[in-house]
Structures are given as structure tokens and as C-alpha cells.
């Protein structure tokens, strides 16, 4: 029993060391800071990505809407529409933005083909090529304006983890003033 009492007495001498909590806050801070910084940077990256995704949607809807409002467009009109649509992304970089606007018409059998297509930083669809639209969007002898927008977002911090993120949006609108928007 004396052995046991000696051990207990020796442990009693160590308890001031074990109960000393000086520097505990610094250790906790050092453990928590990386997690907090990661969460903050993740929230900032997510906010930027969400904002850009919303603006890509606005670019697609605005491009299709501006063309669907007229009966005829020419190259200058399309350049102006692309410039207006691109300005929606401000203050973000517009270099990775691609816009393709296409007029798709349906023949007597409701088979859809490209009437004309224009692109900025992308590839336009070939005239008279087949174009697949969602079911029920056209009727024979009707047309649809299709705006396809893509944006390659490179997150400043997350690019090392995920690389770039491609955001795409496709918007469909029927011409408002005529059955088809003509390209001059």
C-alpha cells in the first residue's frame, strides 16, 4: 500500500504542470486559423462563382431577347447586341465569354434547321444544318432564337484545387414581331 501512496504523491507533484493552461489559447488559435481561412476563402470563391453564373444567364437571356424584338438584323446590330451583352459581365473578365446566337426555323414537317448563326469567341452553326430543340418548342413554319453562352471561370484561389469551371446557359425565345428574324 505504501507503493501506491508514493505513486499518488508523485502524481500530485505533476498536477501543477498538467493544470497549467498558459498558452492554450495560442495552441487553439493555431489549430483553428487554417480552418477559418479556408472557410472564408471558400465563401468568397462561391460568391464570385454564383455572381458570374447569374450574369451568364443574364447574357443569354438579353442576347436572345434583343434579337427576338426585331424583324431584321444586320452585322452592326449583332455587334451592338454582343457588346451590350458582354457589358453585363462587368467588372469580371470578358475574355472567356462565348456567345452564339442562332435563328432556327421549322419547315412544313417541323424539322428544325439553322437559318443563320453568329458568334463572338465561339463557333457559329452552319446554315441549313439540323438543330435539335426541346420538344414542343416549334410548330411548322415557325422559328426560334437560340442564345448559347459559355464562360470559363478560373477561381483565383480554387484553381489549384478544381481548375476552371465552365458555366453554360442556353436561352430560347420566339420572335415577337414576325414569324422569323431575318439576317441582312
Per residue in 71-118, pLDDT tens?
999 999 999 999 999 899 988 889 999 999 999 999 999 999 999 999
pLDDT of residue 8: 57
For residue 148, pLDDT over 60 is answered with yes
Is there a domain that residue 161 lies in? Answer: yes
Q: How far is residue 30 CA from its own chain's centroid?
A: 35
pTM for this structure?
Answer: 0.78
Kindly state whether residue 61 falls inside one of the protein's structural domains.
yes
Closest listed residue to residue 88, CA positions, set 181, 151, 163, 4: 151
* Full residue range of the structural domain in which residue 71 is found: 24-179
With CA atoms as reference, report the closest residue to 85 among 102, 103, 65.
65
Cell of 127: 446554315
Q: How many domains does the chain have?
A: 1
Query: Who's near 4: CB < 8 A, 6+ residues apart?
Result: none
Position 73 scores a pLDDT of: 94
Tell me which of 27 and 100 has the higher pLDDT: 100
- Whether the CB-CB separation of 87 and 99 falls below 8 Å is answered with no
Amino acid at each position: 500500500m505504501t507503493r501506491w501512496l508514493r505513486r499518488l504523491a508523485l502524481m500530485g507533484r505533476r498536477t501543477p504542470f498538467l493544470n497549467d493552461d498558459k498558452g492554450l489559447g495560442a495552441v487553439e488559435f493555431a489549430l483553428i486559423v487554417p480552418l477559418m481561412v479556408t472557410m472564408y476563402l471558400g465563401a468568397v470563391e462561391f460568391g464570385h462563382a454564383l455572381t458570374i453564373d447569374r450574369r451568364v444567364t443574364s447574357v443569354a437571356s438579353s442576347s436572345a431577347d434583343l434579337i427576338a424584338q426585331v424583324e431584321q438584323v444586320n452585322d452592326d446590330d449583332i455587334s451592338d447586341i454582343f457588346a451590350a451583352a458582354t457589358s453585363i459581365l462587368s467588372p469580371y473578365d470578358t475574355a472567356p465569354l462565348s456567345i452564339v446566337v442562332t435563328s432556327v426555323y421549322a419547315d412544313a414537317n417541323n424539322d428544325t434547321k439553322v437559318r443563320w448563326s453568329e458568334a463572338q469567341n465561339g463557333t457559329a452553326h452552319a446554315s441549313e444544318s439540323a438543330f435539335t430543340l426541346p420538344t414542343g418548342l416549334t410548330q411548322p413554319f415557325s422559328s426560334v432564337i437560340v442564345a448559347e453562352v459559355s464562360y470559363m471561370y478560373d477561381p483565383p484561389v480554387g484553381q489549384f484545387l478544381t481548375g476552371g469551371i465552365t458555366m453554360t446557359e442556353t436561352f430560347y425565345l420566339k420572335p415577337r414581331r414576325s414569324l422569323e428574324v431575318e439576317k441582312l
